[in-house]
Amino acid sequence: MHRKWLSAALVGAAFMVAGATVAPAQETLKIGGIGPLSGGGTAWGLAAQRGMEIAIEEINAGGGFKSGGKTYKLELLMYDDQYTGAGGKAAAERLVNQDNVKFIVGPVGSPPALGVISVTNPAKVVALTNGYAPQILKNDTKDPYNFRIYPTNIEFGPPLIKWLKDNAPEVKKVAMLAPNDAVGQSVAGALAADYRKQGFEVELELFERGIKEFTPLILRMMAKKVDAFEFDGNSPGDAGLMLKQIRQAGFKGKVIQVGGPGSDEIIEIAGPAAEGFLSYGVFDWDTPAGKKLRPIYEKKYGKGIINQFMPAFYHTVFLLVDAIKRADSVDTTKVRDALDAMNGFDAGIYGPVKWTGKDFYGVNRQLMFTYYLAEVKGGKLVTKAKFQP
């Protein structure tokens, strides 16, 4: 009996050894993922995680990729940052020091992003973050290794506001409602300044995140005779509710969001009240890439509204992999330099991308791509204007 087991085990082991020697030298490259997986930002964190998972599965199913004479498959290690600076720092410490990860994608929000780069930059680990705070790029780090993979209103705000000025001359006074959380506070102030710079009057109201009844604030704004409402900085769910309540309160003017992903969710929540809503967008689900991604997503995670960070993080994995291929090495400095030279890269998601930001942040580390302004007509988004970076 024992002998039988032993021989079976030996045969098995022999096969495994043989298998290992026959297969081409293939290694696993670990990618760190960080995002809020608990608390109020969970929707964003999950979207980031799922986007990366889909991209990694796609790359691995195609046999991985080659760099420096080796073939790599990818593996995602995803950690929660609790949407706090301390959480981001802890996740990065673990990825960098314990998991020996050299490339991190995420987090989504500003406080964790700042926590992450305080760890990754000294360790020379490449971090591809999101987050709206200018300090993520604009700081006194020498020789940084971090990039921002999603545009902020500093980039797209002024052109969109100019469009509003040219195409809706009746709008003179804009009401801004935003939550007083990290996103709202960093977005709203800067955006209000942009509006004022272009000659608009702005009424800004920050509210405690979590309230669902905006009617009193909407009435307050209407009593101040505003011509338009602006939503940037809100979560899509809250923006949808505001839109519904604004129309129920009898407001007839323009409602716009200059930035903030999630028009689909806004339309879902607001229902018929979404008609005529103007929204900034970067990803169109009716493009070939969108039509390919949606069924994969729905098969894996079920039907439902898909957060727009999903394609953004899907895209980022391809951006990173392409940089590793071009660098022909997994050395972080070489990959970073390859990333710096990625202008014109096109993964079929956003069209060709470009690094910008030198003037404002002092480094060219802000990814930009084509964005557009769309209007809701018959429950669908119809593109009104395209903006090239």
Partner 1 sequence: MFNATILGQVFVNGVSLSAIYILVALGFTLLFGIMRVVNFAHGEFAMLGAFALFHLIKDYHWPWLIALPVGVVGVALASLVLEWLVFRWFYQRMFESMIGLLGLNMMIMFGAVLLWDVHERNIPSVSSEVLMLGDIIVPVDRLIVVIIALAALAGFYLFIRYTRAGLAMRAAAQDLEIAETQGVNTRRTYKVAFFVAILLAALAGALWGQIYAVSPFLGERPLLMAFVVVILGGMGSIPGAALGGVLLGFTESFVGTFYGAAASAFLSFGVVILLLVVRPWGILGTPET
Partner 2 sequence: MSVNKRILAVVAAIVLLGWPWLTEDKFLHHIGVLICLTSIAACSLHLIIRTGHVSLCHTAFMAFGAYGSVIVVMQLGMPWPVGLIAGTALAAAVAAVIGPIVLRLTGKYFVLITFLMGEVVRMAIIENSWLTGGSNGIFNVPPPYPFLLSNRAYYYFALGFAVFGVGLCARLLTSEFGRAMDAIREGERLAECSGVPVIRFKVMVFVIACALAGMTGSLQAHYIKFVGPEAYSGFQSLNLVVMNVIGGMTSLIGALLGTVFMVTLPELLRGYVNLQQIMFGAILFATMAFLPGGLVELGRRLRKLLWGRREDAAAAEAGARAGTRASPQAS
Going residue by residue from 262 to 291, which x/- string records binding to partner 1, judged by CB under 8 A?
A: ---x--xxxxxx------------------
| 43 touches partner 1 (CB under 8 A) | yes
**How buried is residue 126: exposed, middle or buried, by Cβ count under 10 Å (0-12/13-18/19+)?**
buried
| 85 touches partner 2 (CB under 8 A) | yes
Residue 142: both structure tokens together = 């020498």
- Return the closest-CA partner of residue 294 out of 376, 354, 303, 110: 303
Binder to partner 2 among 97, 167, 215, 333 (CB under 8 A)? 97
Diameter over CA atoms, the chain: 90
Helix axes 332-340, 309-327, angle to 10 degrees: 110
- Return the closest-CA partner of residue 373 out of 238, 246, 257: 257
Binder to partner 2 among 1, 98, 170, 199 (CB under 8 A)? 98
- Return the closest-CA partner of residue 161 out of 192, 205, 184, 206: 192
Q: Which residues pair with 30 in a beta bridge?
A: 75
CB of 259 to partner 1, least distance (A): 19
Q: At 352, which amino acid appears?
A: P
Spatial distance between the Cα atoms of 278 and 185, rounded to a whole number of angstroms: 22
Count of residues interacting with partner 2 (CB under 8 A): 35
| Residue 272, binding choice from partner 1, partner 2, none, Cβ under 5 to 8 Å by partner class | partner 1
**How buried is residue 218: exposed, middle or buried, by Cβ count under 10 Å (0-12/13-18/19+)?**
buried
Q: Which residues pair with 136 in a beta bridge?
A: none
| 115 touches partner 2 (CB under 8 A) | yes
CB of 254 to partner 1, least distance (A): 19
CB 376 within 8 A of CB 275: yes
| 300 touches partner 1 (CB under 8 A) | no
Spatial distance between the Cα atoms of 313 and 317, rounded to a whole number of angstroms: 6
CB 369 within 8 A of CB 282: yes
């680990």: which residue's tokens?
A: 125
- Site residues for partner 2, 147-186, by CB under 8 A, read 180-182, 184-186
Binder to partner 1 among 57, 58, 205, 275 (CB under 8 A)? 205
- Site residues for partner 2, 328-387, by CB under 8 A, read none
Residue 61: other Cβ atoms inside 10 A: 9
Note the helical H segments in 23-71: 42-61
CB 183 within 8 A of CB 150: no
CB of 208 to partner 1, least distance (A): 5
Nearer to partner 1, 63 or 304 (CB): 304
Binder to partner 1 among 24, 223, 252, 359 (CB under 8 A)? 223
Where residue 271 falls (left for φ over 0; alpha for ψ -120 to 50; beta otherwise) is left
| Residue 85, binding choice from partner 1, partner 2, none, Cβ under 5 to 8 Å by partner class | partner 2
| 145 touches partner 2 (CB under 8 A) | no
Task: DSSP letter for 272, please.
Answer: G
Binder to partner 1 among 100, 248, 333, 343 (CB under 8 A)? 248
| 388 touches partner 2 (CB under 8 A) | no
CB 267 within 8 A of CB 292: no
Spatial distance between the Cα atoms of 159 and 162, rounded to a whole number of angstroms: 5
| 210 touches partner 1 (CB under 8 A) | yes
| Residue 219, binding choice from partner 1, partner 2, none, Cβ under 5 to 8 Å by partner class | partner 1
CB of 291 to partner 2, least distance (A): 30
CB of 236 to partner 1, least distance (A): 7
| 161 touches partner 1 (CB under 8 A) | no
Nearer to partner 2, 89 or 315 (CB): 89
| 93 touches partner 2 (CB under 8 A) | yes
- Site residues for partner 2, 206-225, by CB under 8 A, read 208
Nearer to partner 1, 275 or 328 (CB): 275
Spatial distance between the Cα atoms of 255 and 135, rounded to a whole number of angstroms: 30
Q: Site residues (CB under 8 A) for partner 1?
A: 38, 40, 42-43, 46, 180, 205-208, 210-213, 215-217, 219-220, 223-224, 236-237, 240-241, 248-250, 265, 268-273, 301-302, 304-305, 307
Q: Point out which residues bind partner 2 (CB under 8 A).
A: 37-39, 77-80, 82-86, 89-91, 93-94, 96-98, 110-111, 114-115, 118, 133, 135, 139, 180-182, 184-186, 208
